[in-house]
Structure 1
Amino acid sequence: MVVEGEAARVLTELRAQGDPVRAENEKRYLKSDFVHIGVPVPAVRKVAVSAVKALPTRDEVLALAEALWGVTQEGRPVHEARMAAIEVLVKRAALLGPGDLALAERFVRDSASWVYVDGVAEKVVGRLVVRYPDLGTALDAWVSDPYMWMRRTAVLALLAGVRVGEPDLGRIDRFGDALIGEREFFIRKALGWVLRELSKKDPGWVTEWVEARIAVISGVTLREAVRRLPGEDAERLLAAQRR
């Protein structure tokens, strides 16, 4: 009953803050078929965080996330409820264990937009992989998954290790080579983001990796990858691609 009560409270609070104009604009921007209430992300996060304070156990957190993810209106998922479900998992990521990777995967496979995938990829999957390195084998499978959002998840999950100073250079190298010929914009962008974040701490590695692939790397990936490199290196790589 506690979980059901918190899920209902979250929805009530979200609806109380809804803005129809924002809802319509956001729906248009995301090209979404979902129901949108019109609540900014910081407000969704605040409501979700308040909910998990009342649910201290892993089982309760998972149940709340599942309940919010499954909310529908007029037969369609509710955008803010799904965002709140993700925030619940993110806030209590430290409680999650290896077996919970399956739930994260299910959420990604049930998504069709970066707006849901990215938080799950880095802040749930990525953090799990940092804590339980053996889970990296799942990323190895996902990087060649037919579903584009699973491939994006495999790449973005690597950001968590980069941010805490434990970059998985082997997988960054392998995944980069596996995806460097991708036509999907969202994959190209994701790879660029990982390289950009890594370049803040290891610009030499990124420079060498990109330079060796300058003939095949996409412009989208390259522009992100060089954004934080020393100016001379960035300009040299950009000029090399232009040639």
Structure 2
Amino acid sequence: MSADETLVEAIRAGLARLADPAKAPAMQAYMKSALPFRGVAKPQRSALLKQVLADHTLPDRVTFSATVLKLWRTAEFREERYAAIDLSGHRAYRRWQDPELVPVYEEMIVNGAWWDHVDELAIHRIGPILRAHRARVTPTVLAWANDSDLWRRRTAIICQVGAREDTDTDLLTRAIEPAIAEPEFFLRKGIGWALRDYAKTAPDWVRSFVDDHPGLSGLSRREALKHIG
């Protein structure tokens, strides 16, 4: 695959111009990031991406995928990874959001391995693809729910956040149940988040789920019932 090197360099150069070295250490410490930060806040980054992406149109899905992965894999600053995620969801390339992109997002989820990367990819990339292509993507999500990788498992649990009436409750149940006994915070919190979100749509279903699963951690239970009692 051949990436658009001009676009990659334009993003990197733009982030370098916006860098604020005084802010960068605190941002890195807050995110517990091995990658350093440039010190570019989200509003500045979003404005930069809007301009750069308006000036650089990617011609096909192969170039699109390759450019996202190039920016992600070769990132030297965390904002470059954020830019790769932003590029992956840009409205100009919405027509390419289908199961063929799932391996790209899976790589980013596993390699990113932290909530600031994973949650955006799970909810706003994997989730919409799942809802549009249930037959093809559901088996992958179920496999992730039973995977040894923490972030694949969290993705399986939270990828339907925001789905409302389109939530597949069988899939939600089968994504949550393998993680119920796990002590890992990000799984317990993810379970609570997924249930709390769905409780806005189906509070009775969530109450029944909690009642039927007494092994849920206190954290998961509190989060699930936070707004419904």
- Taking structure 1 as the reference length, the TM-score comes to 0.85
Contiguous gaps of at least 5 residues in structure 2: none
Seen in structure 2, the aligned counterparts of structure 1 residues 167 and 2 have a Cα distance that, compared at 3 Å, is closer
Cα distance in 2, alignment partners of residues 171 and 62 from structure 1: 28
1:29-65 per-position Cα deviation (integer Å, ceiling 9, x unaligned): 1211102101112332333343443325433322321
Runs of 4+ in 1 over 3 A off after TM superposition: 49-53
Q: What code does the residue aligned with 1:119 have?
A: E
Query: C-alpha root-mean-square deviation of aligned residues, in Å?
Result: 1.9
- Counterparts of 1:190 and 1:43, CA distance in 2: 29
| Residue equivalent to 1:137 | 139
Deviations 1:119-159 (A, max 9, x none): 11111111111111021110110011111111111112122
Flag the 1:144–1:130 CA change in 2: closer, same or farther, 3 A.
same
Aligned partner of 2:114: which letter?
S
Q: 1:173: which partner in 2?
A: 173
Structure with higher RCO (Cα < 8 A, 6+ apart): 2
Give structure 1 stretches of 5+ with no counterpart. 235-243
User: Pairwise mapping of residues 31-180 of structure 1 onto structure 2 (< 5 A)?
Assistant: 31-53=32-54, 54-56=56-58, 57-72=60-75, 77-91=76-90, 92-134=93-135, 135-162=137-164, 165-180=165-180
Give the 3-state SS of the residue equivalent to 1:158 in structure 2: coil
Q: Which amino acid aligns with 2:151?
A: W
TM-score (norm. length: structure 2): 0.90
Q: Deviations over 1:188-241 (max 9, x none)?
A: 11111111111111111111111222x321121122111221xxxx1xxxxxxx
Q: What's the CA shift for 1:160? A: 4.8
- Kindly provide the amino acid, as one letter, of the partner of residue 39 in structure 1: V
Whether the 8 Å CA contact 2:20–2:38 is kept in 1: the answer is: yes
Match of 1:225 in 2: 224
1:133/1:52 Cα in 2 relative to 1: closer, same or farther (>3 Å)?
farther
